Amino acid sequence: MQYNAAIASNPYVVGSFACIGGSLFGLDISSMSGVLSNDAYKATFDNPDPNVQGAIVSAMPAGSLGGALLVSYVADRIGRKKTVILSGIVWVIGSALQCVAVDRGMLIVGRIISGVSVGIASTTIPLYQAEITLPSIRGRLVSIQQWSITWGILIQYFIQFGCSYIRGEASFRIPWGLQAIPAVILSIGMLSFPESPRWLFDHHREAEALTVLADLHGKGNPMDDMVQLEFEQIKEQMYIERTEGAKSYFDLLKPGVLHRVSLGASLQMWSQLSGVNLMMYYVIYVLQGAGLTPRRGNLIADSVQYVLNVAFTVPAILYIDKWGRRPMLLVGTILMAFFLFVVGILQGLFGRWIVLDGARVWVIHGHSSITKGVVVCSYLFVCSFAISMGPVSWTYPAEIFPMRVRAKAIALSTASNWLFNFGIAWAVPPSLSTIAYKTYFMFGAFNLAAFIHIFFMFPETAGRTLEEIEGIFEMGHTYTAWQVDRRAGLRALEQVVELKDKSASAPHPPRFSFDSYGSTSVARHDRHVTDNFGEMKIGVIHEIGP
């Protein structure tokens, strides 16, 4: 087990470096959005029509779907760390093929390979972060995954914008080649980082797991309260899971687990149905429809949107563990629905069909104030996504699953993201060229449906260890998630040790669930355990039988 202990001791470094993998997704998004109006790109790939362009763009999420499903085996087999390293290697291969592509087929193959890398990275990185970070900052660090995506979009877009002044194929080949650099940094840099302690424990390497936990959360001291709390909770959870037999995909169908699989997969689905990729992949088409038809002006307006995407992810990173997952999702879906409906109404009232560059396009023409209104609402939509659904859609699925199925369940959740990403990436260009402004109403309706689903079925998970989150779901509240208290499930070290001793002496090891404050219980403890960041870890626990 080779890693740098000094690096491991810094929670923000160890929790955020792997997020370079998230930037790969962002690089891909703007690597295509930036060339949609590039004449050299059109000439090289035979002026793709809306359907063909949708196929080219959707090749990446198609590959990502396969990569995400692959993680369910690879991450459990070789470990989280090595899987992240693998994703960087695959990305370099895909980028090289795109850079030298001479026809549509070669470009699509390159994008599929890059997609496999993004699928692996986008699944494994939140899994890795969730398993190595402290509960008090887990949401913040997993959210950096989304921030890195926004940075990838922004950086690649400005590279595309600068290269658009170059004549010929170099205008798009240079950006496609440069995107391999972050992957090289990721794969080499990850060699200095530790493996997930939960994966080590799951593979009967308990001593190594304790050493990693001590370096991560106890400044090298294995007797630190927080280290001992996590170690005992992991041990308890591992014991329960090992007594239940070998891991299997059928475990995902078990009562309690299936419900969580549906939450993780549906949240990733809602993130795609929110309409964000309409605004990311095809922002040039969106602003063209608003009336910004000059190419250079459109590119500048696009860049503002990408800057806002980066900026408004920052508050989410800073406050996700304070605000909580539920409030961010509920407010975000309502705001996104509102702004999409406004764009659709303005487009419907003031737009008309025109022929632009040989294609039939729905455009607002001759209404400068309406054009500005559509652009502003598009920006506000992106801000709403960046501060809510964007970061939470990666954080929530990474923390709600039991250890025995965590890799498989997160892989399935992320696969849902890429399945809907694939469908939307392909469908949006034909949709805009046929039903035009009605496309915005469709995505607005999806956000309203997401709000209803989240309100009734998504309990709060902020501030608990991964093992404590088990207790939240054992409480029930399948359709009454709003009743789950923000402090439900929190436990003290004495509770875990006492229950471990009790479990060892019992003929049938008991299972445990957790109540919110004020519930009747058989054990209460006055002593608190404070983690390294000052968060109180207290709670109530009761036995529910073998």
What pLDDT does residue 524 have?
Answer: 31
Quick one: average pLDDT of 252-260? Answer: 89
Q: Collapsing DSSP states into helix, strand and coil, what is residue 479?
A: coil
CB atoms closer than 10 angstroms to residue 83: 26
SS3 content of the chain, % helix, strand, coil (to 5): 70, 5, 25
Q: Is the pTM of this model over 0.75?
A: yes
> Which of the two residues, 247 and 201, has the higher pLDDT score?
201
Token pair 């709003």 in the structure block, residue: 482
Q: Judge whether residue 536 has pLDDT over 90.
A: no
Q: Judge whether residue 294 has pLDDT over 70.
A: no
pLDDT averaged over every residue in the chain = 85
Quick one: average pLDDT of 300-311? Answer: 88
Q: Judge whether residue 420 has pLDDT over 60.
A: yes
The answer to which of 294-303, 435-444, 445-454, 477-486 has the lowest mean pLDDT is 294-303
What pLDDT does residue 195 have?
Answer: 94
Q: Are 373 and 381 in contact (CB under 8 A)?
A: no
The answer to which of 25-34, 341-350, 442-451 has the lowest mean pLDDT is 25-34
DSSP bridge partners of 515: 540
What pLDDT does residue 32 have?
Answer: 84
DSSP bridge partners of 545: 511
DSSP bridge partners of 540: 515
Residue 1 structure tokens: 């087990």
- String of DSSP letters for 159-195: HHHHHTTS-STHHHHHHHHHTTHHHHHHHHHGGGSPP
Q: Judge whether residue 334 has pLDDT over 50.
A: yes
What percent of the chain stands above pLDDT 90? Answer: 50
- String of DSSP letters for 419-463: HHHHHHHHHHHHHHHHTTTHHHHHHHHHHHHHHHHHHHH----TT
The answer to which of 58-72, 110-124, 336-350, 504-518 has the lowest mean pLDDT is 504-518
What percent of the chain stands above pLDDT 70? Answer: 87
What pLDDT does residue 247 have?
Answer: 65
DSSP, res 196? P
What pLDDT does residue 295 have?
Answer: 60
Quick one: average pLDDT of 242-259? Answer: 78
Could you tell me the pLDDT band of residue 210, with boundaries at 50, 70 and 90? very high
DSSP bridge partners of 537: 529
Q: Are 454 and 476 in contact (CB under 8 A)?
A: no
CB atoms closer than 10 angstroms to residue 428: 24
The answer to which of 24-38, 143-157, 244-258, 433-447 has the lowest mean pLDDT is 244-258
What pLDDT does residue 529 have?
Answer: 37
Distance between CA atoms of residues 510 and 520, nearest Å? 18
Q: Are 219 and 252 in contact (CB under 8 A)?
A: no
Q: Judge whether residue 176 has pLDDT over 60.
A: yes
* Each residue's pLDDT tens digit, 390-419: 999 999 998 999 878 888 899 899 999 999
